[in-house]
Every structure is written in C-alpha cells, then in structure tokens.
Amino acid sequence: MTTAVYPGTFDPITNGHSDIVMRAAILFDRVIVAVAASPGKRPLFSVEQRVALASEVLADLDNVEISPFDTLLVDFASQHDAKVILRGLRAVSDFEYEFQLAGINRRLAPDVETLFLRPAEQYAYISSSLVREVAGLGGDVSEFIHPAVQAALKRRKL
C-alpha cells in the first residue's frame, strides 16, 4: 500500500488544492492531506478550522484523510508510513522554493520521494492568498473555492 502526504497551509483550501488531491487519490492507495499549523505565516483560519474545511471539501474521497501537523514534515511522513511527499506546481515561480524544499527533505529523509503534480489549467493561477485578498476586497471567488469555504470566508467577514 502506497501512502502519499500532501502538506500545505491550506489557508483556506482552494479548488486548485482539491484538483491535486483528486489526481493523487487515483494514483495512490492512501493520501493524507497534512495541514501545517504554520504559526509563522499567521494564518487567517486556525489549524482546526483549516482541517474542518478540507475534511468537508474532500469528504467524497474515500482514500483521503486530513490531519493537522506541527512537526518536521519528514517525521510526519515516517510516522504515517508515507514514502511520497506531494506538492503542486502551478508555474515556474513555484519552482525555486519547491526545489529547495524537496532538496532539504531529501537530505533529511533520503528514502522519501517528493513528487509534483500539475493542476488543471484553470486552477494554475489560484492561490489561497489571492483568494483571501480578492474576497477581502469584495470580489467574487465562488469559482475558485468550495461553497463551504465561501461560507467560512463570509463568517470571517471576508
């Protein structure tokens, strides 16, 4: 059984993230969406809220689990018997940071592979930060996020 971990801040989960998870759910026996506490990023939503939203959005995918984490990613992967770390690549601009991250994770855990997946074209320019920004300025973000996420942003008056 191959387990893959898809880590991120998911503040909040977007249709781009979901697209990656759906692709991964076909490729791997088990996919764990690992929601990083990321206090340094001062997330809009608490880790509990981010986990709850991701769980609601991805509820139909039977082999997908959502879990919070605040440890080293490679330790989380090893605790869950995952040999694969998944990341999404939207554009060349993602590459440098992702390349560094994959490099350090390989040094820390040589037996864990980082794999990159591409979302469908229409999601390639969506990011959680843009969704927060556009929603905060009153723009319509309904085509980028699940209705549950939209409702959560409304509750935050975004």
Residue ranges in contact with ligand ADP by CB under 6 A: 8-10, 14, 16-17, 20, 87-88, 90, 94, 119, 123, 126-128
* Apex 42 CA angle, 141 and 142, nearest 5: 10
Angstrom CA distances, 42 to 9, 50, 116, 151, stand at: 10, 13, 26, 21
**Residue type present at position 153:** L
Which residue lies nearer to ligand ADP by CB, 79 or 99? Answer: 99
* Smallest gap from residue 38 Cβ to ligand ADP (A): 6
Q: Which residues have a catalytic role annotated? A: 17, 41, 90, 128
* Smallest gap from residue 98 Cβ to ligand ADP (A): 6
Gap between the Cα atoms of 9 and 131, Å rounded: 14
* Smallest gap from residue 136 Cβ to ligand ADP (A): 17
Which residue lies nearer to ligand ADP by CB, 1 or 143? Answer: 143
